Structure 1
Amino acid sequence: MRKSFIVAGLAATALASAAGAQESPKPASPATVAAQREAAASLPPDGTRDADFAARGFLATRTEPLIRDADGQPVWNLDAYAFVDGEAPPSVHPSLWRHMRYLKRHGLFEVADGIWQVRGFDLSNMTVIRGETGWILIDPLTTKEVAAAALELVNDTLGERPVSAVIYSHSHADHFGGVRGVISAGDIAAGRVEVIAPEHFMEEASSENVLAGGAMQRRAAYQFGAGLVPGDAGQMGSGIGMAVSRGTITLVEPTDIIRETGETRRIDGVELEFQIVSGSEAPSELNVYVAPQRTFLAAEIATCTMHNILTPRGAKVRDTRAWARFLDEAVTDYAPRSDVVISSHCWPQFGREAGTAWLAAQRDNYRYLHDQTVRRMNRGATMVEIAEAVPLPPQLAEEWSNHGYYGTYSHNSKAIYQYYLGWYDAVPANLHAHPPIPRAERMVEALGGADRMIALARVAMAEGDYRWSSDLLQQLVFAEPDNAAAKNLLADSYEQQGYQSESAIWRNQFLVAASELRNGRADNFSTQSADLIAAIPTGLLLDSAATRYDPEKLGKPHVAVRFELTDRDETALMEANESVLIGRMDDMRTAPDAIVRAPRQLVLGLLLAKLPLAQMKTAGLTVEGNENALAALLGALDPMPGSFEIVTR
C-alpha cells in the first residue's frame, strides 16, 4: 500500500515546468507599462542597506545547483532565479524585481562569530550555531533533501561536526520538515540530539490543514504558483523566499518544550533565551536570543516583507494586535542587547540601531493596519471599503520590509475585519445573496448577454481598468464556462494584474488563473510524509473522515464500527446514523456491528485512501462481526478531495 496519504501541503514551484502544448504568456500591455513606470516613481530610495546586508558574510554555495532526491529527481534549483538582474522588465512590478534581486542569493553566510545561516536552499533559512561539541540548528528547512544539502555545505565549509540540537521556531512545515536530513534515527534513539520546540508544537504541526486540507491544498497551488516556471512572465518567488522545495517532509517529536517568554537553556554550552510569540504568525512559535553572540532570531514575526494575517491558501485568521505587541516586546527587551537581528526568512539586520529600527518599523506597520482597520470598521465601513481606504502610508513605506511582497494591506485589512466581525458586512442584500453561478447568469442577462459583456470588458481593458474587466469577465465565465473568447480575454486581464502586483503571491494567483483559463487545470496535489501522518492524533483523523461522510450513501439507519489499532494500543469507534458520523476514542460502551483490528496505517488506508478492504485484509487487517456494516460505512465516505475548478467552476 502507499506509504503516505494526501492531507495537505505546500505547492512547490522552483522546478515547475509546463506539460504539453501550452499557450505562451503575453507581454505587458501599454497600460501595464505605464502602471509600472508610475509605481517605480513612487518607491522610496533604493539605498545600500539591503544590498549590503543580503550579501554580507557570504562564504560559499554549492557548485551543483540542482539538489536531488534518492531517486535522482531534482527537488530544488539554486539557479532558478538567476535571470533576475538589472532593471525590472515591464512584466514585473519594479519593487518586486528589486526584492528578488536580494532574495535570490543562496549559500552559507556568517552573521556573527559562531553563527551562520544557509539561505536560498528553500523557502526558509536554516540557522547554524556553533556549540561546544556540534552544530545547533534552528529551522531545518522543508524537506530532508535540501536540509541534508544545507548541512553538507556547512560541514564542507566550516569543518565537519555532529548536530547536537535542533530547534523548531514554529509549527509550519518549512521550519521543521527537513529534520531527518540533519539528524538520524540513531541519533534520536541514543539521545545524542536535543529537539526543542514551543508549547503545543506537535499538536499544531500535525493538525494544521487536516480538516480543510483539500481546499487549502488547491488554494496553495495558486498562492505558490504551482505549474508556473520562474521567469519575468512567470513565477517571481513567494515574497518571503523563492519557492517551497519538493522532496520528503519529515518530523521528529521534540524532547524539550519552551512554554514561557524568558525561559533559558544552556544547549551544547551556548546560552539561549526564548520569547514565546504563539498566536501571531503561527499558533505555536518562539523567537531565540543567542546571548553570547548578542544575536536575536525573530523567526517569522519579522521578515523582509509584510506577512499574511490570513493566508490566501486559507487558515485561521491571526491576531494582528498580539503580533504587534510581540514585536514591541522584541523592540524593548531584545533589540537593545542585540548586535544582529536575523529571521527564518530573508537577510539579517546588522548593528543594534538597524535591528531596532527594523523591528520597530514592522511593529508600527502591523499596529497601524490593525488600528486604522478597526477605527473605520467601528464607523461602519465594510471590509472592502476599508481595503481601499487604508493603503501603506508614506512614512511606513520608507522601510522596504513593510511592503507587501507576501501579505498585502488589502488582504490583511479584510482579514482583521473578519477576525472581529466575520464575513457578513451587515448589508442585508449580502445576507442571502445568490451563489456565484446563478448570480453570474442573472448578471449576464441583465447586462445584455455575452457579446455585450465582452465588449464592455474590452473597453475596460483598453483603458487599463483590469479590475473591472476581470469582474465582468469572471461573471461571464461562471455563467458560460465553455465561452472560449471570454476565458481568453479573462486570462489576459488576470495576467496584466499579475504583472502589476508588488506581492509575489498575488502575482502567482493571477498568473495561475490565467494559465488555467488558457491551458486547463494541472493537478498539483502532494502527499504528506509518514512522519506527519503518524503525528496526527487518531481522534483528529476520525474528525477528518467525518467531513467526508455522505449520509445518503449509508443505506442503513445506523452503523457502528470499532477500530482496535494494534500498534498503538488505541481503540476508536465510528458511529454513523442518517445524519452524521461521530468518532470517539476509547468508547467501549457502544456495541459495534463490526470490530476491525490492524495497525493504524492499514486503518488509514481504509478511511483516508479508501484502499480495498480485501487488500487491507491481505496486509494483516482482520474484521470480526458484520463485514457488510463496515462496507456500508466505508461506502458512505467520499474519496479524499482532489483538485477542483476555481476560475471556471
Structure 2
Amino acid sequence: MNIGRIATVVFCTGALFACNQAQNPEAQISNAVVAPEHFHPKGKEPSSFTKAKQAQLRKTLPLTDARDFEEQSRGLLARPDYDEIMAEAGHVAWSMGKYEFLLDGKDFDSIHPSLQRQALLNMNYGLYEVTDGIYQVRGFDLANISFIKGDTGWIVFDPLTAEETARAALKLINDTLGERPVVAVIYSHSHGDHFGGARGVTTTEAAASGKVKIIAPAGFMEHAVAENVHAGNAMSRRMFYQYGSLMPASPYGHVDQSIGKTVANGKLGLIAPNLSISEPLVDMTIDGVHMVFQNTPGTEAPVEMNTWFPDKKAFWAAENISGTIHNIYTLRGALVRDALAWSKYINIALYSFGKQADVMFTAHSWPRWGNDRIQQVMRGQRDMYAHLNNQVLHLANQGVTINQMHNVYQVPKSQQEQWYARGYHGSFEHNSRAVINRYLGYWDANPATLIPLSPEDSAPLYVEMMGGAEKIMSKAQSLYNNGEYRLAQEITNKLVYAEPNNQNAKDLLADIFEQQGYQQESPSLRNSFLAAALELRSGIPKGVSPKTGPDIVKAMSTELWLEYLAILMNADDMEGVSYRFNLIQPDIQENFVVELSNGALTAIKGFTDPTADLTLTINRADLEPVMMQQKNLREQVLAGKASVEGDTDGLRDLLTSIAPFELDFEIMPGTK
C-alpha cells in the first residue's frame, strides 16, 4: 500500500466525495470511470440502469458533509510501514493493501456511492490519539483495539479477532509511545472480534495469577462460546454470504463490511475473565484510571457493556453505537435482537454520561468529539432503533406482514440525511423484517405459507405452468435487459430450483444478483448477492476454513458439548435404539446422565442413574483432548485416563452416528 497516498486521501477532509463536491458539484456524476477488469470471466459491468441509479444517488446523497472524514482522520500518530500481517500458520491474516483501489479517487458504478464513502472511511490504518491517555489502533481487524494509559501500563479494550493482529497493534503503540506492560484487558462483549486476540497482548498465566485483570460483563464466557456452537457450522457457511469472506477485494466484489474492512483470519484464542461486571453500573479504578461500567445486556450482543471515564469526560460506547445502524438480525444467523432495549440503553447512556462527554469512542468506526456532536449521534441512533421497533409494530398491527414489511417501512426523512443513521451493517430491509419476526415469528398468517412446499418441490410446477425453461429464460432476459431485476429474479430463481444443472439459467440468475449487489448500500446485502452470483457461476469457492481454537473448546462447558453432540448425532441411525450412560468428571465434580431414546440424545446435569447401561468416568482435563478431536475415548481408556463399567457396545454405536458437519453445503441449487 502506498502509505503516502492513503494519508493524502484521508486528510483531504472528505476525500474523494467531499473534496470533489466542494470544487465541482457535478464531479460525482461526470467523474465515474471504467473500473478495473472484473475478477470473474462471466462477470458483468454495471448496467445502464445501475449506472443511472448510482448517478442519481451522487446528486441526492449529502456527500458534502465532511464531518466523518474530519473525525476519522483526527489524532493520527503513526502508520505502520507494512500493509499485511501474516498468520502464524503462514497465510495472510490481514491485508489493507488489497483495498488500495479505493484510494484512486475514482467513483465506481459497481459500488453504491454511500457504501463507497463508508468503505473509504474504513481505510483508517494506524495509531490514533482519542484524547489525553486514550489511543486506538484502527484498520488492523474488523474492530478497533483501544489502549488506556494507566499509571504503570496499558489497559486494553477489545483485543481484536486474532492473536497476530492484536500483537502487531500492541507493538505499534509501544514502538510509538514507549513500551508499557499490559495491566488489564477489558472485553466489551461476547463477539469474537472483541476477544479473540487476547493472547496477542497478555497470557493465561498473567490472568490466572491476577497480575493482569481480565474484565467482562457477567455471562461473557457462556455467550462467547454458546452463540456459535449449536448452529455454528451453518453460521460459518452463511458468513461467506454476509461477509463475502472468500470474495476477492475488488470494485466488483468485496469492498467493506461497514464497521470495518473485514474479519482477520488468524489465530483466535480466549483468556477467561477473572473479574465480572454484574450490576447495572459499576465504579472501578484500575491502575489509576477511574471507570464506570454500564451493563447493556440484550443489545448488540447478549452481554455487553459501555464504559465512562469521568476524569477524561470520555465515553466508550462498545458496539452499541458506531458509524451505522447495526443488525437487529444478523444475516449469518443469531437470535433476533431487541431494538427497543437497545434504544433504551442508549438513552440511559445519554442521560448518565452523554451530556457530560467531550469525546465518544467505540469498538468500530471512529470517535466523535464535542458534546453537541456526541449528543446528536447518540440521540439519532437511539431514535432510529426506537423507530424501527415502534413503527414496524405500528404497521404490523395494521396488517402489514413479514413478507411485506421491508417494502412498506420507511426511515424518517429527518434521519435519511444523517450518515450515522444509514443502514450499512443492518439494512432497513432486513432489520424491519427482523422486528416483526421477534414479536410475531416467521408466519404471515396466510395458511398457504404455513406449511409450504420446499422450493425444489414447488419450482417444477411453476416452470411447467410458465411454459418451460425456454420461455422463462426469454422473459427473464427481457426483464433483466429492462432493469427489472427483482421481477427477473422471481422467475429465474424458480427455474434454477427446478433445473439445478441448467448452467444458462444459473448464469442469468447470477447476472441478476450481480446488478442488485452493485446497487446495495449495505455491504451485508451486497456481499450476499455477489457471493450467490459467484457460486452460481463457479461453484462453492475454496478457502481457509475457520477453525475452533483450543481456548474456545476448553471454555465450552461439558453440558454445552453434550448438547452439541446431540445436534451432530444422526437421529435416523439411532431409530429405535435406547441407551443410557453416566458421565462422571471427578476433577470438577460434575455428573451427567446421558440418555438416547426416541431418536433424541439428552443430558441432565447433577444426576447419576444406577440402572444405566454404562458408567464412564473421566476427568474434565482428560475429556478436553476428546472434545478437540485430538484423542478418542478408546485411547483415553487404554491410557488409563478414563474408566468404563458396563455395556460399551452401545456407546460405540452412539459415537459412530456422530460425525462433524461439512462446511461446504449447498445454498444455491447446483453449486456443489
Shorter-chain TM band? over 0.9
Is 2:652 aligned against 1:631? yes
Match of 1:385 among 390, 394, 404: 404
Q: How many residue pairs align between the two structures?
A: 629
**Residue aligned with 2:97, SS:** coil
Counterpart in 2 of 1:427? 446
Question: Bigger CA drift: 33-42 or 585-594?
Answer: 585-594
Is 2:100 aligned against 1:82? yes
Residue type at the aligned position of 1:647: M
Is 2:598 aligned against 1:595? no
Match of 2:45 among 9, 27, 42: 27
Correspondences of 1:486-497 after superposition (within 5 Å): 486-497=505-516
Counterpart in 2 of 1:647? 668
Residue type at the aligned position of 1:136: I
Counterpart in 2 of 1:543? 563
User: CA RMSD, aligned part only?
Assistant: 2.0
Residue type at the aligned position of 1:150: A
Q: Would the alpha carbon gap of residues 499 and 333 (structure 1) be closer, same or farther in structure 2, given more than 3 Å must change?
A: same
Residue type at the aligned position of 1:485: N
Is 2:324 aligned against 1:305? yes
d(CA) in 1 for partners of 2:637 and 2:87? 33
Match of 2:55 among 37, 55, 59: 37
Residue type at the aligned position of 1:46: T
Identical aligned residues as a percent: 38
Q: Would the alpha carbon gap of residues 242 and 66 (structure 1) be closer, same or farther in structure 2, given more than 3 Å must change?
A: same
**Residue aligned with 2:297, SS:** coil
Is 2:356 aligned against 1:340? no
Counterpart in 1 of 2:604? 584
1:383 CA displacement: 1.9
Is 2:46 aligned against 1:57? no
d(CA) in 1 for partners of 2:342 and 2:151? 34
Q: Would the alpha carbon gap of residues 467 and 261 (structure 1) be closer, same or farther in structure 2, given more than 3 Å must change?
A: same
Match of 1:534 among 550, 554, 558: 554
Correspondences of 1:125-524 after superposition (within 5 Å): 125-523=144-542
Residue type at the aligned position of 2:218: E
**Residue aligned with 1:227, SS:** coil
1:186 CA displacement: 3.1
The answer to whether the Cα contact below 8 Å between 1:607 and 1:634 also exists between their aligned partners in 2 is: no
Counterpart in 1 of 2:573? 553
Counterpart in 2 of 1:17? none
1:138 CA displacement: 0.7
1:251-284 Cα deviation digits (max 9, x unpaired): 1121222123332101111110122111011110
Residue type at the aligned position of 1:383: I
1:231 CA displacement: 1.2
1:560-616 Cα deviation digits (max 9, x unpaired): 233334654433332112331111223222433233344547646667859766555
Q: Would the alpha carbon gap of residues 607 and 484 (structure 1) be closer, same or farther in structure 2, given more than 3 Å must change?
A: same
Counterpart in 2 of 1:3? none
The answer to whether the Cα contact below 8 Å between 1:554 and 1:635 also exists between their aligned partners in 2 is: no
d(CA) in 1 for partners of 2:439 and 2:491? 31
1:42 CA displacement: 2.5
Residue type at the aligned position of 2:384: N
d(CA) in 2 for partners of 1:455 and 1:516? 23
The answer to whether the Cα contact below 8 Å between 1:76 and 1:246 also exists between their aligned partners in 2 is: yes
1:185 CA displacement: 2.7
Q: Would the alpha carbon gap of residues 332 and 251 (structure 1) be closer, same or farther in structure 2, given more than 3 Å must change?
A: same
1:111-132 Cα deviation digits (max 9, x unpaired): 1011011111000011111001
d(CA) in 1 for partners of 2:404 and 2:65? 34
1:337-395 Cα deviation digits (max 9, x unpaired): 11001110001101111111111111111112221111100001112322111232321
d(CA) in 2 for partners of 1:186 and 1:211? 30
1:189 CA displacement: 3.1
Question: Bigger CA drift: 624-633 or 305-314?
Answer: 624-633
Structure possessing the higher relative contact order (Cα contacts under 8 Å, 6 or more residues apart): 1
**Residue aligned with 1:292, SS:** coil
Which consecutive residues of structure 2, in runs of 5 or more, have no partner in the other structure?
Answer: 1-38
Residue type at the aligned position of 1:550: N
Question: Bigger CA drift: 624-633 or 564-573?
Answer: 564-573
d(CA) in 1 for partners of 2:319 and 2:42? 36
Question: Bigger CA drift: 603-612 or 520-529?
Answer: 603-612
d(CA) in 2 for partners of 1:172 and 1:382? 31
Residue type at the aligned position of 2:260: G
d(CA) in 2 for partners of 1:27 and 1:480? 27
Residue type at the aligned position of 2:600: V
Counterpart in 2 of 1:5? none
Residue type at the aligned position of 1:42: T
1:481 CA displacement: 0.6
Residue type at the aligned position of 2:46: A
Match of 1:47 among 46, 57, 65: 65
d(CA) in 2 for partners of 1:62 and 1:610? 38
d(CA) in 2 for partners of 1:325 and 1:491? 42
1:65 CA displacement: 1.7
Q: Would the alpha carbon gap of residues 599 and 443 (structure 1) be closer, same or farther in structure 2, given more than 3 Å must change?
A: farther
1:639 CA displacement: 3.2
Counterpart in 2 of 1:13? none
Q: Would the alpha carbon gap of residues 497 and 611 (structure 1) be closer, same or farther in structure 2, given more than 3 Å must change?
A: farther
Counterpart in 2 of 1:15? none
Structure 1 stretches of at least 4 aligned residues deviating more than 6 Å after TM superposition: none
Question: Bigger CA drift: 109-118 or 206-215?
Answer: 206-215
**Residue aligned with 1:498, SS:** helix
Q: Would the alpha carbon gap of residues 71 and 45 (structure 1) be closer, same or farther in structure 2, given more than 3 Å must change?
A: closer
Counterpart in 2 of 1:14? none
Residue type at the aligned position of 1:36: Q
d(CA) in 1 for partners of 2:272 and 2:631? 29
The answer to whether the Cα contact below 8 Å between 1:610 and 1:634 also exists between their aligned partners in 2 is: no
Q: Would the alpha carbon gap of residues 548 and 70 (structure 1) be closer, same or farther in structure 2, given more than 3 Å must change?
A: closer
d(CA) in 1 for partners of 2:571 and 2:260? 44
Question: Bigger CA drift: 463-472 or 604-613?
Answer: 604-613
**Residue aligned with 1:97, SS:** helix
d(CA) in 1 for partners of 2:249 and 2:56? 25
Q: Would the alpha carbon gap of residues 610 and 531 (structure 1) be closer, same or farther in structure 2, given more than 3 Å must change?
A: closer
**Residue aligned with 2:100, SS:** coil
Residue type at the aligned position of 1:557: V
Question: Bigger CA drift: 139-148 or 543-552?
Answer: 543-552
Which consecutive residues of structure 1, in runs of 5 or more, have no partner in the other structure?
Answer: 1-20
Residue type at the aligned position of 2:64: D
d(CA) in 2 for partners of 1:539 and 1:611? 19
**Residue aligned with 1:80, SS:** helix
